[in-house]
Structure 1
Amino acid sequence: MKHLPVFDKFPQFANSLEFFKKKFFCVPFLAAFNTLTVLMLVCLSLYAKLNKQGDAVERLFSDPFNVWFPYEGILTGVSEVLWCIPVATCAFTFGLLRQKEPRSRSAIFLFFSALLLGVFFLDDRFRITLILSRLGISIKFIYLCYGTAVFLYGVQFWRYIKTTPYLPLVLAFLLFAISRFEDLFESQSLGVHAMLEDGTKLLALLNLALYFLHICHQEIWRDLRPREKR
């Protein structure tokens, strides 16, 4: 009797495997990012097992929760959600626009907006400025770098920004400046400090999210209208 491959003996399994592979690899970067994430988790598991550091790994996934004050940090969580909205929206819209006009002004504007806001989000979420200051780098120097980046961003795209309802964008960056410079001064009142630092940041993120949602909606709609006329 002729030898058959093992998958030929189970045609349903072979078809299911082929279907799974087709669906899995049709999404860009899905396989790569899943593989990298699994490898990272495996390495963390091995490290915890070999060094008996299970509690250290557990801290990486722990939620900041205070049973006595369940509302603690709720506005910080809202701010983090608002951070993600303009970054994801700009990146997604840029991906759509670049398929038709890769070098259009709006596509380039949204790309650098996503890049700049993404850097700010990573800094805010992972406390990069605080870590760098602990390493001896001046906070004023870091803020100078960020301020320069915002200035160059504004100069480069001002002509495009003027064609949009830019008041929320300008207001957002002014509120961000108030929030960041609050770190340089000591306030005697914790409530005043929270409002000047975190309250202004929350308001800035709200304006930023609404501005870019509006801009991205307009750009996508403008890109779709010529196709509807065909």
Structure 2
Amino acid sequence: MKHLPLFDKIPKFSNSLEFFKKNFFCVPFLAAFNTLTVLVLVGLSLYAKLNNKGDAVERLFSDPFNFWFPYEGILTGVSEVLWCVPVAVCAFTFGVLRQKNPRSRAAIFLFFSALLLGVFFLDDRFRMTLIISRLGISKKLIYLCYGSAVFLYGVKFWRYIKTTPYLPLVVAFLLFGISRFEDIYESQSLGVHAMLEDGTKLLALLNLSLYFWHICHQEIGRHLRQSEKR
């Protein structure tokens, strides 16, 4: 079989490039986030190479694991998964609803729900409150700010919330309050402390996830029915 001349290969390369662009750039932010992530990884690799800090980079990807106690942290992992559920479904449903009416009550409610819960998730996952408190800012002040944000959220969207089965939402935020209170005033018993801080948070996240899953399911169903009527 004869080798194709270079000018015959160029159209095939051009077609491959078009295929790549068509598939890679059709997903919003896919190219941007991939590029940013690659740049960060390259930067970390260069830093590790130039400063002989390979072990420091390895810690960024290390998994917490205790061979003797493989169940260690398992409920914390479950909580982190549950944190992602309401944030993801609210953001996704907002994206669907905004195509028709971005100013609808449901769309705005879900947008701010995703934003508020996203901030709480980032705080919990990356220990932002703990880091800020080590800088001299009281945990009480931080939790007061979070409590004020929840209060304003409730006041702003109460008209919409009361049209939904809102008891799980109220219970979830009350349980979060107990969890944060226990974080400030720690019990003497380790078991009691774990149950009051992390156990209540796990139960709160379960209620929160199921509530927003139900709400988002209803809103998307309503959106599809309205689209079919057109």
Q: If the length of structure 1 is used for normalisation, what is the TM-score?
A: 0.95
One-letter amino acid of the counterpart of residue 114, structure 2: A
Count how many residue pairs are aligned between Structure 1 and Structure 2: 227
Which structure 1 residue ranges, 5 or more long, are not aligned? none
Structure-1 residue corresponding to 2:24: 24
Tell me which residue corresponds to 1:80: 80
1: CA distance, partners of 2:21 / 2:209: 37
Partner residue in 2 for 1:52:
52
1:203 and 1:82 map into 2 onto residues whose CA distance is: 10
How far 1:185 moved relative to its partner?
A: 1.3
Deviation per CA, 1:100-131, whole angstroms, max 9, x where unpaired? 01100110000000000000000000000000
Percent identity of paired positions between Structure 1 and Structure 2: 86
Shift of 1:12: 3.4
Look up the match of 1:123. 123
Please report how far the alpha carbon of residue 16 of structure 1 lies from its aligned counterpart in structure 2 after TM superposition.
2.1
Residue in structure 1 matched with residue 210 of structure 2 by the alignment:
210
Q: Which amino acid aligns with 1:72?
A: E
**Amino acid across the alignment from 2:74:** I
- 1:96 equivalent to 2:108? Answer no
Measured against aligned partners, the alpha-carbon deviations of 1:30-87 in whole angstroms (never above 9, x if no partner) come to 1100000000000000000000000000000000000111111110000000000000
Letter in 1 for 2:83: W
Counterpart secondary structure, 1:68: coil
The residue correspondences of 1:44-193 to structure 2 (distance < 5 A) are 44-193=44-193
AA aligned to 1:108 is I
Whole-Å separation in 1 of the counterparts to 2:186 and 2:95: 43
Distance apart, 1:9 and its partner CA: 2.4
Q: Per-residue deviation at 1:184?
A: 1.5
SS at match of 1:224: helix
AA matched with 1:21: K
* Cα shift readout 1:80-100 (whole Å, capped 9, x = no counterpart): 000000000000000110110
Q: 1:106 to 1:188 in 2, by over 3 A?
A: same
Name the aligned partner's letter for residue 172 of structure 2: A
Q: Say which SS state the counterpart of residue 165 (structure 2) adopts.
A: coil
Question: Matched residue of 1:71: which SS?
Answer: coil
TM-score normalised to the size of structure 2?
0.95
Letter in 1 for 2:169: L
Contact 1:8 1:14 in 2 (8 A): no
Q: RMSD between aligned alpha carbons? A: 1.5
Q: Which runs of 5+ in 2 are unaligned?
A: none
Q: Is the 8 A contact 1:106 1:160 kept in 2?
A: yes
